[in-house]
Amino acid sequence: MDIFDGRVVMVTGAARGIGEATATLLARRGADLLLTDIDQAALDDLAARLTATGTRVEAVACDVRDLGATQAAVARAVEAFGGIDVVVANAGVASYGTVLTVDPDAFRRVLDTNVLGVFHTVRAALPTIIERRGYVLVVSSLAALAATPGMAAYDASKAGVEHFANALRMEVAHLGVDVGSAHMSWIDTPLLREAREDMSSFDEMLAALPAPLRAVTSAEDCAKAFVEGIEARKRQVFVPGWLSSLSRLRMILNSRLGDRMSARDRARLIARTDTDVRRLGRSTGPRYTESDVGG
């Protein structure tokens, strides 16, 4: 019998990318699923595919910036399945442009989605997670370990949710709940593909990174690491695994030495980034407008 048989897992931002791949793998392992996303059509398509395999799915269109909507989604799963054992707080967005040029509304949307969205997700599900002595996986990023110029909102949000996970872990450990944070490098998702299509400077920035850091991992391989992390109730999940070594060097990465190590062509690439943003006339990918964020 698989450890996930009969377990109930909530995945936010489930319609595409890492969320979709994680939900698909969990379904194969026998989990029941609460899936949320802002993209109703894509979410319904995924739910139909998984339901056809015999998986029990509650698919709820939900903007994680809305606490009430997130609580309603959790209530659906509690009613359908009796509770939730695992939360994967995955929903997230990114913005383009330096602090001087990024659209302030886009900056705010990144923080609202990536930080408040994680809080709303965990807050809504925590009572049932405590009741079932479950596990929470907060999706952070390599961006929490080392900043990238032109991505200040994303960097700040992912560093923020890493510390959110650290605080939450201490708050609920005595209740039998474990908390992990996931740290990924570049994953082949719509978010990454949109950035590469929108911003010629983005590909140039990737190419300028040392070989291991420029590698792109598939969403399926990322999902495998997530599911292994959930199964082992890990404190940290790194994708690729060698990021665990890099995480021990974060003091160096964020020191003057680290600044010097990443200084090659930085000024030119920053200028290129802002030129791309001005050309686009927006600071987010094409799927994310004022009324269409959160997944």
State which H helix or E strand residue 57 sits in.
strand 57-61
| Domain contains 141 | yes
Q: What is the mean pLDDT of each run of 10 residues along the chain (295 residues)?
A: 94 97 98 97 97 97 98 98 98 92 95 98 98 98 88 96 98 98 92 82 74 85 98 97 78 61 68 79 66 29
Beta strands across the sheet bearing 236-239: 57-61, 32-37, 8-12, 86-89, 135-139, 178-184, 236-239
Residue 106 domain-assigned? yes
Phi and psi dihedrals of 239, rounded to 5?
Answer: -135, 115
Cis peptide before 240 (omega within 30 of 0): yes
Q: Is the residue at 273 inside a domain?
A: no
Q: Which residues contact 274 (CB under 8 A, 6 or more apart)?
A: 97, 98, 100, 101, 150
Label residue 53 exposed, middle or buried (CB < 10 Å: 0-12, 13-18, 19+): exposed
Residue 76 within a domain: yes
Q: CA-to-CA distance for 93 and 83, rounded, in angstroms?
A: 28
What is the count of structural domains for the chain?
Answer: 1
What residues make up the domain containing 27? 8-189+216-248
CATH of the domain at 13: 3.40.50.720
Does residue 194 form part of some domain?
Answer: no
In a domain, 148, yes or no: yes
CA distance 154 to 78: 32
Q: Determine the pLDDT at residue 294.
A: 29
The reply to whether 36 falls in a domain is yes
Q: Is residue 277 part of a domain?
A: no
Active site residue 288: no
Catalytic residue among 96, 135, 154, 288: 154
What integer pLDDT is reported at residue 195 of this predicted model?
Answer: 80
Distances (CA, A) of 58 to 30, 78, 92, 138: 14, 10, 20, 21
Provide the pLDDT for residue 2. 92
* Distance separating alpha carbons of residues 28 and 47, to the nearest angstrom: 13
